Amino acid sequence: MSKEKKHGQGRHKDAELHVRGRSEYVDDVTPPAGMLTAVPFGSPLAHGTIRGINLDAARSAPGVVCVLTRADLPAEKMIGAIIPDEPLLADETVCFQGQVIALVVAESWAQAVHARSLIEIDIDPLPVITEPRQAFAAGELMFPSRTFEIGNIDKAWAACAHIVEGRCEIGGQEHVPLETNRARALPRENGEITVWSSTQSPYSAQKAVAKVLGIPEHKVEVDVKRLGGGFGGKEDQATHWACHVAVAARRTGRAVELVLSREEDIRMTGKRHPYACDFKLGLDADGKILAYKAELYQNSGAFADLSMPVLERSLLHATNAYNIPNARVMAVCCRTHLAPNTAFRGFGGPQAMFVMESAIAKAADQMGLRRDAIQEVNLLRTGDRFYYGQELEACRMRVTWDEAVEHFELADIRSRAEDFNASNRQFKKGVSVMPVCFGISFTKTFLNQGSALVHIYTDGSIGVTTGGIEMGQGMSSNMIAVAARVFGISPDRIKVEATNTTRVANMSPSAASATSDLNGHAVRLACEEILPGLLETASEMLKVPVAQISIEAERVLVDSSPSELEWQALVLNTYFARRRLSASGFYATPDIGWDGEKGWGKPFAYHVYGTCITEVTVDCLRGIYTVDACKVVHDVGRSINELVDRGQIEGGLVQGLGWMTMEDLVFNDEGRYTSGALSTYKLPDVYFTPDDLRVKLLEPIDNPAGPLGSKAVGEPPLMYGIGVFFAIREAMQAAGAGDVPFHSPITPERVLMGLERARKNKEPRSVRAT
């Protein structure tokens, strides 16, 4: 057996199924007989009062079984993860374009869509707010503002040799999972119901369906095999569609399915939160940051959704990878008339980090330094304390920085870029360094728990069920690797079952980069409950003490030497000996605690560190650019599955590059998305991805808080993409662009306009080498 297989380091569990198109999702399973189709009818206006709605023609259309409105909801009519402020079906006021007002249920999708087109609605328009600063000025706030503070910032300004101020406009981002939002419900006996949902949070769907139907949670079964991508967009907002099909199934007594089209998914669901921000930064003569002030205005959308916890993580990551003794960061959720914005990979951290990096860039401009000169002198070290109280342990921030600078030869990269710029007029190169420090855990402490159920069958095969959701990130592969290592067997013997609320209850969402941590530890603990019985059986069979026995490569070892006893025989004899071959595991992250009211404590089990060097070339005539290279040094602790981790790092980085460059969410003054299709909303593809994309993992060091010594890898790599903005900005400045606004994404149109302004001001920017 190969070393890779022995230690569970094989390929992604679902790779072969994905490549062959055989992976099953919600609507791939053979439908129950007589299954109906539901389609949502959404508001054509972003804000208004419903004066009347005529459903007669739709209800009498061919194939239509029913058209549901708010009056048809059996019990609870409001939903929401934090506060129940969002109507499942609107009936008086609409607050965003696409908000669901009615649900058409018919024998076929074509019949349902036709009937939907017959609905007539009369809405009196109300004023529309689309920008967070505008909402803040109007007092349209979701919650009171929050401020985190450390030191004495008011006195610190006097000691600063350099002070800069500025503002940022940070765009949102559409999730664009390959699988759009969808759900299927089947009514069962005794008022029970089964829901198949494309959700990152089965328990949230279970709770909401139970409340909407007015039944206890144990009568609702939610099942999730896998998702075709989530990125946070299915953490809370998948709940809506699960509730819709459940209500329709209860009303009709038949199975009901709802599958959003791409256009519907974009129009009716929330995005990454756009932010509008102001900053002020003070430094001493050597570039040491003495004071930092930021005000973050979050565009929350129409309802609360997850905006408050997203905002909290912005506050917790506002200083990124830097030690700043005096800081004050204010943040506020601003209500606008857009779809409720929601979780997205990074969960508010990337927006706050962009502001910090913009402030450093502004200071570098004023001081005549490169940005990385200021970054390097302020990097975090072990023992530094964040402004919210947590002290850094085993900090590897500077290790990743130094490794990136040395291994990828930053000095030579800089030198080549300068030589290129000196000899080229149309094309200019830019280079940036982006350090990342990202905390791992849910900031709501109670969510940091995971459960698992492990069965060993008498033929030696194993079934593993957890509360985690496989959504392409390799969670199932990691669970297999954990079980394989504990038992010392081949990963091929292990199957990860669908996530199901009847097998694992009260599960936390698959989010916050904590899925493999929480569920991996739970799997480990379950396996460790079973292992002693196996070893005891082997001891009896081989007549040696348990202390001398281990299992490796599916064979029992005695004092590290192979015996004749193999795994399958061991399992069968353990069964005959009536010892347990099934166990549940429960894990709660230790040594964390966070007081959200006081803004103080230890919210994170640990931090992930990394550094990315980005190189770009800008065509100064056309405004277009090429990302030449991204070179990453990343800390994964001791990787469970290196192939999975590398895939996550590369995928997260490219998603971050897209957010910073081309993924431009555009909506008009009436709150209507004008980039609501993939023809107008541009995504990074294989041609945009840098040809030179290198990932170097730090030398393995065990992380006690991670399963098998690993570190989470889902979210932190996205923030490497922030560096591309500053690389492009540097190239523009090399062309004489001067003070380029901190407005993301930095699309080719914005680059071209910035360069056009530069052509009217021929004075070149001077940068002092350091």
Catalytic residues: 715
- Cα angle value 232/237/241 (rounded, 5°): 135
Q: If you search the block for the tokens 């004489």, which residue do you land on? A: 736
> 667 φ, ψ to 5°?
-135, 150
SS3 (DSSP) at 388: coil
Q: Which helix (H) or strand (E) holds 67?
A: strand 64-68
Peptide bond into 745 cis (omega under 30): yes
| 262-267 long-range contacts, CB within 8 A, separation 24+ | 262/180, 262/677, 262/678, 263/676, 263/677, 264/40, 264/42, 264/98, 264/180, 265/180, 265/181, 266/174, 266/176, 266/673, 266/676, 266/677, 266/681, 267/42, 267/97, 267/98, 267/339, 267/673, 267/676
CB atoms within 10 A of CB 138: 12
CB atoms within 10 A of CB 118: 17
SS3 (DSSP) at 715: coil
Ramachandran bin of 107, using left for φ above 0, alpha for ψ from -120 to 50, beta for the remaining angles: alpha
Nearest to 364 by CA among 443, 433, 454: 433
- Cα angle value 274/166/607 (rounded, 5°): 60
Distance of alpha carbon 403 from alpha carbon 113, whole angstroms? 57
Q: If you search the block for the tokens 């069979």, which residue do you land on? A: 541
Name residue 148's beta-bridge partners: 329
Distance of alpha carbon 71 from alpha carbon 722, whole angstroms? 47
21: Cβ–Cβ under 8 A, 6 or more apart, which residues? Answer: none
> DSSP string covering 436-486, please?
EEEEES-SSGGG-EEEEEEEE-TTS-EEEEES---SSSSHHHHHHHHHHHH
Question: Is the CB of residue 710 less than 8 Å from the CB of residue 440?
Answer: no
- Measured CA to CA in angstroms, residue 609 lies from 399, 523, 650 at distances of 9, 26, 15
Helices (H), 580-641: none
SS3 (DSSP) at 719: helix
List b or e across 142-173, with b for residues whose CB sees 16 or more CB atoms inside 10 angstroms. beeebebebbebeebeeebebebebebebbbb
Distance of alpha carbon 315 from alpha carbon 386, whole angstroms? 11
The rounded Cα 464 to chain-centroid distance in angstroms is 24
- Cα angle value 756/297/731 (rounded, 5°): 25
Distance of alpha carbon 643 from alpha carbon 196, whole angstroms? 30
Question: Is the CB of residue 603 less than 8 Å from the CB of residue 589?
Answer: no
Nearest to 194 by CA among 108, 257, 240: 257
Q: Which helix (H) or strand (E) holds 49?
A: strand 48-54
Q: Where are the beta strands (DSSP E) in 240-366?
A: 256-259, 275-283, 289-301, 327-335
